[in-house]
Amino acid sequence: MIPFRLTDRRASSRPARARTFKFRQLVGLLLMVASLWLMGWDAAHRRSGREAHTASIRAVVRLLGTADLALSSSSRWLRHPSITEPGAAFADGPAILDNDPAGAALGLPREVLAGFSAEPDVPPLMRERR
């Protein structure tokens, strides 16, 4: 046995720190995984709960005659409920672009502007010269 003189600071003046934190961190990681799993379980539970209301939702849609949500869209053929963007009330024409900002930057698909996908035959313009 080699004798060692501890010429350095005494141990009692330097309390040993608790055991490493790695297990605490591993637990933290596992907690995150558990949270995500719990979130998925809750989502599935809510979805199955919502299924029970599907019949009610469909009945409402039949009664109201529309499936549009009570949200603002500024589209003139979707019902808008009290929730309309200012200015949207004036855009009544079939080909008037929506007030949505995206409509200002990029045009909407043509069939959305037309209102239906097939156009009726239109006779050519007739011009009479004096």
Of 66-125, which residues contact other proteins (CB under 8 A)? 66-86, 92-94, 100-103, 108-109, 111-112, 115-118, 120
Nearer to other proteins, 51 or 128 (CB): 51
The nearest distance, CB 130 to other proteins, in angstroms, is 29
Q: Which helix (H) or strand (E) holds 30?
A: helix 22-51
**CB-wise, 54 or 129, nearer to other proteins?**
54
Number of residues interacting with other proteins: please give it, by CB under 8 A. Answer: 84
Q: How far apart are CA 14 and CA 45, in angstroms?
A: 53
Residue 12: DSSP 8-state? G
Q: Are 85 and 74 in contact (CB under 8 A)?
A: yes
The radius of gyration computed from the CA coordinates of the chain, to the nearest angstrom, equals 34
Minimal distance, residue 129 CB to other proteins, in Å: 28
HSE-CB of 96 using CA atoms within 13 angstroms: 12
Distances in whole angstroms, Cα of residue 119 to Cα of each of 45, 79, 113, 115, 124: 46, 24, 12, 9, 14
C-beta of 56: minimal distance to other proteins in Å?
5
Interacting positions 1-30 with other proteins (CB under 8 A): 1-2, 4-9, 11, 14, 16-23, 25-26, 28-29
Q: Which of residues 34-53 bind other proteins (CB under 8 A)?
A: 35-36, 39-40, 42-43, 46-47, 49-50, 53
